[in-house]
Structure 1
Amino acid sequence: MPHRERSKTLDIEQRLLIDAIYLRYHYDFRSYAQASLCRRLNAALARFQCKTLSQLQDRVLHEPDVFAGMLDYLTVQVSDMFRDPDYFRALREQVLPHLHTYPLLKIWVAGCSTGEEVYSLAVLLQEAGLLERTFIYATDINAKALQAASAGVFDVERVPAFSQNHAASGAVTSLSDYYTAAYGRVVFHKSLRDHMVFSDHSLATDSVFSEVHLVSCRNVLIYFERALQDRALGLFREALCQRGFLGLGSKESLRFSTQADAFEDCVPLQCIYRKKALA
């Protein structure tokens, strides 16, 4: 088959597979960046020993366990605690002082993956004396990732990097104050988890569920096409209270979004924005 025809067939198969996932399981990947999606689907082909996307589609439709495994390829599960320490330093020094003025705080971590950022924020809030009056809503579309996040358990080999990032963020405590180590794992204290609510939520199809003071959604929008980026940012704008804060990833920006006019720069170098007050 000529290359052009083969490429066209692959495009059709990919579209049909993504449509099938949406119709069968109500997970919407139709507006995800196509190049990234193609790479992930190629990896899934090898994992499930399928020669074509059509074969993979057949298995996804008829074998729910295959779809559950597919989510690990379609969603990104790569993170670290206090990833990009300067972002957390900026929150610590320039955002949390404003949040101190509220009697009750609500924070939304969108695309929380296996929970590294959620626990980072909980530690940050504890160090600032704010955790006791804070609820952290942590959402993702991957049920397995949410289950891992809610457990708060991580391999001990990852902890030195976590601790290094924590210190670089301007920490005033030791990260070891917040977990217990045993049998090659660490588990973060229940006192942190008591302030977290983990829930399934899709930025592609779901609505706002609460008013919040801070949204942190980092390294998620880069996997979306422009229309879905705008939809997600619209949800964040709607969820944020007046003068609430939005944190994005280092390669993400509001600049060309349809939501840009609703925000002003807070810490531009760390992609932290603040929702404008109504005129």
Structure 2
Amino acid sequence: MADQPERIRIFRDDPRAPELLIVERGGRAWVVVWPGLGARLRSIHHISLEPSGKTVELEHPNEAVYYTMSGGAEAWDGSFDRRMDLPSGAMAHVGPDTRYGFTAGSEGAEIIGGPCPSDDRLYAHLEYKRPVGPEPENPGGRLAARGVRVFYRNQPTAIVPMIAKDARLIVWAGVGAYTANMNYVDMQAGERNKDHVHVESEDTIYILDGMGSIEDLTNGTRLEFEAGDVVHVPVGVWHAVSGDRDDHVESVGGPCPADWNMLAAAGLMPHGPLGIKEHQDG
């Protein structure tokens, strides 16, 4: 059940969390960040597949995004009858109303991600209190294309030093992902990003390796995290992430939906979601 959703919270990727009924054979899946914890704009599930394990066919009204933490899988796109490799370090963006799923390779696969915003149908078998709030809108009225697309963390299309020296935009608005974004960041010890806020987005950060802290500047608190934790920042909370524990902070995640203000401040897509500069009188 959600409590104090206006504050930053640290969740743990715990295999004992409520299970999702999305694995057909050879594995299991569970919730990590979901509406039962107060999140609405991004969901993160952990799909743990044994060798040749397979999910059921999935489909959502909104976008989804996934990251392969280890092993490898094949992403199948039932809407266009195609299959794509999803090795360790790869991300899959899924457009709305796309039939898709994953089949693990010979080493199995550990995959994290989910639809953004969340898809309540995935939790129909669970009892939870749904967060209250208006239904999120597509930024700028844009809709991502149907289908599955694969991206790689070592092939970013933009770097954002205001986050960290090694902050890579992988699945973001610049590649046509509007509600389901995923960045890769390797913050080094001693780095701290600028104080910032997402006025229409939830910021969710899955810690892959290392440890650090996040300052909740709105509430005057500091929370520590380590590998296997997930940092969830609600809409409108000022915050800053720090590598202040003598270790790096390797993570994936970011704001959902796309934060056009942040992109503009970084010099990316400065004219907003429609790509058209607003008319200024005079």
Q: TM-score, normalised by structure 1?
A: 0.25
Q: Which has the larger radius of gyration?
A: 1
Relative to its length, the structure with more helix (as a share) is 1
Q: TM-score, normalised by structure 2?
A: 0.25
